[in-house]
């Protein structure tokens, strides 16, 4: 699906300097066919990282058709508090509807590499050449020549040992520094993998939300089509005389063949479970019935049966008279009709069901524990 804005960035991978500073620039172009007022936002997975980002200029701007704006983003990371990588991106939102995201830009990876400081090696201090002075004195004085030579040899040997020890210390320090660098590289690699996994999860979540939104849109279209079809069906049936009072407590809908209880308020208001129970128990001898019907033959009207029953030309209630040429009135042909809500037998989900409003002929869903009026119906051939 095309997006209304094109977003590019100069540096998708940005290495910060030793002070933790860096900068990159986003270019945003309005590729839609209309002028838009938008708000620009910078987003990160970790909210702390967002504090290190600063966008130059106004975040809310007007974009004419094919208009382009640039946004410079400066990054300032405290080098003593963070080493590794993090991602951020620039997103375009509607300034009129702040929660409406119009376009999501590419990710920018920011890296703060660990700095391994070299270990300073203390060089042996050069002092006064006492050995040379002693030798010169001994030679000049011609006293203890052999002793002087031995002392000179001992001093040279000692100095050689000290230099060898210093070399070993330096070698050990370099080895530890190399190990520390290797561990730092491993940690950075693991952090990259974790960020990649998070990006993948975020992408899948966005895809799932898109699928859900498409499904919701299709459902709304289907409901609209069903309502249009019901309306056309009602118009097609306008020429048929609508109801016949059977003089036995029932009324026949000649357009559908359904037989309705003449008394539309025999049981008052009930919850959905009680309404279904009462429907199964209804039989001839109750609610003015003398039609010979048996228990188990009556039921709550389905949502579809309700939609065919009502006539939306009228309001309060949305029912016609027996001939179908005017609005219902008491006893013509039904009695005790309420301009209220009546239960249907159709479930919405495990906790709710649909009901018909005889105020305007709309169908809505509500909790099964709610109380609405009940009105029962049966098939013509089932007694």
User: For 83-97, 156-170, 211-225, which range has the lowest pLDDT when averaged over its residues?
Assistant: 156-170
Question: Six-digit token pair at 111?
Answer: 């890296």
Question: Six-digit token pair at 140?
Answer: 């000049």
Q: What mean pLDDT is predicted for residues 6-23?
A: 94
Tens-place pLDDT, residues 75-129: 999 988 888 999 999 999 999 999 999 999 999 999 998 766 555 555 555 566 6
If you count them, how many residues does the chain have?
383
DSSP per-residue string spanning 12-41: SEEE--TTSEEEEEEEEEE-SSS-EEEEEE
**Residue 292 backbone dihedrals phi, psi, to 5 degrees:** 80, 10
* Residues 291, 283 contacting (CB under 8 angstroms): no
The structure tokens 């709309």 sit at 362
pLDDT at 216: 65
Confidence of residue 177 (pLDDT cuts 50, 70, 90): very low
3-state secondary structure of 344: strand
3-state secondary structure of 228: helix
* Residues 354, 346 contacting (CB under 8 angstroms): yes
pTM above 0.85, yes or no: no
Tens-place pLDDT, residues 344-360: 999 999 999 999 999 99
3-state secondary structure of 207: helix
**Residue 342 backbone dihedrals phi, psi, to 5 degrees:** -120, 135
pLDDT over threshold 60, residue 137:
no
pLDDT at 35: 94
Alpha-carbon distance 78 to 62, whole Å?
34
Q: Domain ranges in the chain? A: 5-112, 130-176, 191-236, 243-378
Domain pair 5-112 / 243-378, same fold:
no
Confidence of residue 200 (pLDDT cuts 50, 70, 90): confident
pLDDT over threshold 60, residue 145:
no
Q: Which CATH number fits domain 5-112: 2.40.160.50, 2.60.40.10, 3.40.640.10, 3.40.50.620?
A: 2.60.40.10
pLDDT over threshold 60, residue 184:
no
Alpha-carbon distance 340 to 317, whole Å?
8
pLDDT over threshold 60, residue 201:
no
The structure tokens 């429907």 sit at 279
Q: What mean pLDDT is predicted for residues 55-60?
A: 93
pLDDT at 135: 54
- What percentage of residues in the chain have a pLDDT greater than 70? 78
Alpha-carbon distance 239 to 253, whole Å?
14
pLDDT at 226: 55
pLDDT at 185: 81
* 222 against 161, higher pLDDT: 161
pLDDT at 162: 78
* Residues sharing a CB contact under 8 Å with residue 67, sequence separation 6 or more, in sequence order: 29, 30, 35
Alpha-carbon distance 330 to 326, whole Å?
13
pLDDT over threshold 50, residue 379:
yes
**Residue 112 backbone dihedrals phi, psi, to 5 degrees:** -115, 100
* Residues 88, 42 contacting (CB under 8 angstroms): yes
pLDDT over threshold 90, residue 192:
no
- The radius of gyration of the chain's CA atoms, rounded to the nearest angstrom, is 44
pLDDT at 37: 95
Fold classification of 243-378 (topology level):
Mannose-Binding Protein A; Chain A (3.10.100)
Tens-place pLDDT, residues 249-277: 999 999 999 999 999 999 999 999 999 99
């Amino acid at each position: 699906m095309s997006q209304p804005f094109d977003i590019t960035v100069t540096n998708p991978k940005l290495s910060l300097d030793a002070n933790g500073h860096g900068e990159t620039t986003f270019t945003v172009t309005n590729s839609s066919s209309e002028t838009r007022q938008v708000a620009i936002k910078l987003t990160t997975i970790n909210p702390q990282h967002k504090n290190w980002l600063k966008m130059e200029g106004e975040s809310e701007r007007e974009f004419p058709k094919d208009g382009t704006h640039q946004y410079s983003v400066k990054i300032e990371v405290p080098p003593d508090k963070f080493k590794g990588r993090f991602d951020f991106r620039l997103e375009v939102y509607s300034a009129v509807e702040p929660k409406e995201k119009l376009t999501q830009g590419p990710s920018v990876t920011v890296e703060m590499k660990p700095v391994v400081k070299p270990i300073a090696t203390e060089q042996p201090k050069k002092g006064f050449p006492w050995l040379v002075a002693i030798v010169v004195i001994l030679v000049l004085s011609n006293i203890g020549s052999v002793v002087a030579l031995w002392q000179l040899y001992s001093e040279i040997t000692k100095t050689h040992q000290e230099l060898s020890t210093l070399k070993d210390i330096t070698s050990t320090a370099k080895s530890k520094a190399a190990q520390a660098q290797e561990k730092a590289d491993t940690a950075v690699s693991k952090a990259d993998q974790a960020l990649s996994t998070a990006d993948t999860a975020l992408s899948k979540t966005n895809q799932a939300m898109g699928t859900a939104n498409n499904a919701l849109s299709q459902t709304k279209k289907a409901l609209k089509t069903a309502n249009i079809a019901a309306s056309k069906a009602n118009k097609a049936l306008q020429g048929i005389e609508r109801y016949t009072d059977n003089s036995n407590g029932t009324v026949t809908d000649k357009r559908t063949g359904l037989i309705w209880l003449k008394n539309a308020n025999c049981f008052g208001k009930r919850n959905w479970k009680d309404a279904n129970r009462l429907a199964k128990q209804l039989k001839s001898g109750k609610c003015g019935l003398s039609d010979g019907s048996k228990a188990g033959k009556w039921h709550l009207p389905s949502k579809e049966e309700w939609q065919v029953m009502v006539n939306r030309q009228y309001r309060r209630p949305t029912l016609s008279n027996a001939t179908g040429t005017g609005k219902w009135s008491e006893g013509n042909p039904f009695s005790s009709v309420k301009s209220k809500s009546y239960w249907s037998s159709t479930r919405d989900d495990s906790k709710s069901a649909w009901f018909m409003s005889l105020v305007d002929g709309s169908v809505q869903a509500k909790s099964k524990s709610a109380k609405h009026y009940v009105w029962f119906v049966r098939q013509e051939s089932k007694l």
